[in-house]
């Protein structure tokens, strides 16, 4: 993944006064990516402020959709399961998966077949690390990934955008490993 510094076109288009960096998977900012980023920015600009206190706690995954250049996909199916926890001390943990990941026939994860391992790898992702609310107005959150089942993330920093309204959270990942922009809907666990 590369960090792309926006051109003056994007600064003028989005009325930005300071340099921002958004991680994207493509080295070229296509018209499609410009469109996605512009739509995302318009959405988060209209949001109320999000606080660290609002974000802290356990959140259950309700839906996860990714907009790619080929259309909208649901990488974990229409009814994904998972949790994300934002601890007040700046730690977080996250696990998302398909509810229909097949069981390992040998009943031993070390003896799974190649096909079973592929289904598991495609059907689940888990990661953990440190988090910080960077900008309460835009909901920008910086994640430092200590460990992930998607090893390309290990040791890296990522950006998310969060809006909390009562017991509902919307989390936007502008650099999803599914090569698009993912939107997660979460519900607070009480």
**CA–CA distance, 86 with 90 (Å, rounded to integer):** 7
Write out pLDDT tens, residues 12-49: 333 333 333 344 444 444 555 556 555 655 655 555 68
Q: Report the domain count for the chain.
A: 2
Look up the pTM and report it. Answer: 0.73
Average pLDDT, rounded, for the chain: 82
Q: Are residues 41 and 56 in the same domain?
A: no
Q: Are residues 149 and 173 in the same domain?
A: yes
In which domain, by residue range, is 40 found? 2-45
Q: What is the 3 state secondary structure string of 41-80? A: HHHHHCCCCCCHHHHCEEEEEEEEEEEECCEEECCCCCCC
Cα end-to-end distance, the chain, whole Å: 36
| Per-residue pLDDT, 39 | 62
């Amino acid at each position: 993944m590369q960090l792309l510094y926006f051109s003056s076109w994007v600064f003028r288009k989005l009325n930005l006064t300071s340099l921002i960096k958004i991680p994207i998977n493509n080295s070229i900012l296509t018209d499609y990516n410009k469109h996605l980023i512009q739509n995302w920015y318009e959405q988060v600009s209209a949001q109320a402020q999000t606080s660290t206190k609002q974000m802290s706690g356990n959140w259950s995954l309700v839906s996860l959709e990714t907009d790619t250049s080929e259309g909208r996909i649901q990488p974990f199916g229409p009814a994904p399961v998972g949790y994300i926890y934002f601890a007040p001390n700046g730690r977080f943990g996250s696990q998302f998966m398909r509810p229909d990941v097949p069981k390992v026939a040998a009943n031993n994860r070390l003896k799974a077949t190649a096909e079973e391992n592929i289904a598991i790898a495609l059907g689940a992702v888990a990661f953990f690390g440190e988090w910080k609310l960077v900008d309460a107005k835009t909901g920008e959150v910086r994640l430092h990934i200590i460990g992930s089942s998607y090893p390309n993330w290990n040791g890296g920093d990522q950006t998310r955008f969060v809006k909390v309204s009562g017991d509902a959270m919307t989390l936007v990942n502008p650099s999803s490993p599914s090569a698009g922009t993912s939107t997660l809907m979460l519900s607070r666990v009480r």
